[in-house]
Amino acid sequence: MEKEVLPLIIVGGGPAGLTAGIYSCRFGIKSLLIAPFGGGLAASVDRIENFPGFPEEINGMDLVNRMREQAEKFGLEIVNGQVSQIGVEGGLFRVIGDDHYLSRAIIIATGAEPKQLGVPGEEKFRGKGVSYCATCDGPFFKGKKVTVVGGGDSALQEALYLSQIAQEVILVHRREQFRGSSYLGEKVRANPKITLRLNSVITEIRGEERVREISIKATDTGKVERISSDGVFIYAGIKPNSEIVKELVELDPQGAIITDEQMRTSHEGIFACGDVRASDFRQVVTACADGAVAARSAYLFLNPEK
């Protein structure tokens, strides 16, 4: 028997997708959200200091769980699953995962995943000392020496978090100045447990069963040295999770979905929001704003007379 045609399906369960769900339900749209349980990159952050309304900070997973609870309160149906394909047939969208669904409109809020450095030893020791989530794996390195790679907000936040657990944190960044906020940069520079290795890059990760050593190359002199490290936490940017719609919508060179200010993509009826969307500023608060705008645009698409 053919599936019911839903007005709207939201793919992705982070702040952008959940906010889109909250607003779409408030607009009176029967909406289904499909996403693996987890809450996206935001859920992996130990402390979020800059989300309005939480002056005492909040754990990323706690914030996402509150959003999920609020979305369900407004009537959003949430299915735990992974979408593998989205196709178009007869003017409708067919969403395929563990099950298949039909809808008249789609909001893509699939977020992004961490980029790899691509250095020898990174893949070999993934899960054996190489990590992309300090909140997830930091407790395994209590009292040990760890390395954080990157200079953006995520790297700075996680270096500060790890400094509460590890004996020493080495922060490796290819430039002299951080890309992250000056507030976080000042906190990192003032932290006695964080050792800065600026104008430097990691060229190799080594060990036996687990990570034991890294090679660092100075970008100005070319000098390479080997230092001990029990773990390497990598924050080298993010890769948008746009694979399921790459044949349907226009992407930028980095693979992010191009939208207008109303979150409309190049394909009518498909909207995008959050980290999967082309943007030069990615924060939880902007993801939420994107989600609200995408929901409104979906509502206007489904109700052109409004």
Domain boundaries, the chain: 5-113+238-302, 116-234
Instruction: For residue range 2-56, list pLDDT tens digits in order.
Output: 578 999 999 999 999 999 999 999 999 999 999 998 777 788 777 788 889 989 8
Name the least confident of 190-199, 274-283, 292-301.
274-283
pLDDT of residue 174 exceeding 90, the answer is yes
What does residue 205 show for φ and ψ, rounded to 5 degrees? -120, 130
Same topology, domains 5-113+238-302 and 116-234? Answer is yes
pLDDT at 19: 98
Task: Indicate yes or no: pTM above 0.85.
Answer: no
Question: What is the helix (H) or strand (E) element at residue 224, kind and residue range?
Answer: strand 224-228
- Of 172, 187, 168, 145, the residue nearest 50 (C-alpha): 187
Q: State the average pLDDT for the chain.
A: 93
Cα dihedral 242, 245, 248, 251 in deg (nearest 10): 0
What does residue 34 show for φ and ψ, rounded to 5 degrees? -120, 125
Average pLDDT over residues 204-229: 95
State the fold for domain 5-113+238-302: FAD/NAD(P)-binding domain (3.50.50)
For the record, the structure tokens of 72 come out as 């369900």
Q: Which residues are CB-contacts of 253 (< 8 A; sequence separation ≥ 6)?
A: none
What is the residue type of 122? E
Confidence of residue 165 (pLDDT cuts 50, 70, 90): very high
Question: What is the helix (H) or strand (E) element at residue 290, kind and residue range?
Answer: helix 284-302
What is the residue type of 169? V
For the record, the structure tokens of 3 come out as 């599936």
- Of 149, 159, 152, the residue nearest 203 (C-alpha): 149
Percent of the chain whose predicted confidence (pLDDT) is above 70: 99
Catalytic residues: 133, 136-137
**Which residue in the block uniquely carries the two structure tokens 């498909």?**
270
From the options 3.40.50.970, 3.50.50.60, 3.40.50.620, 3.40.640.10, give the CATH code of 116-234. Answer: 3.50.50.60
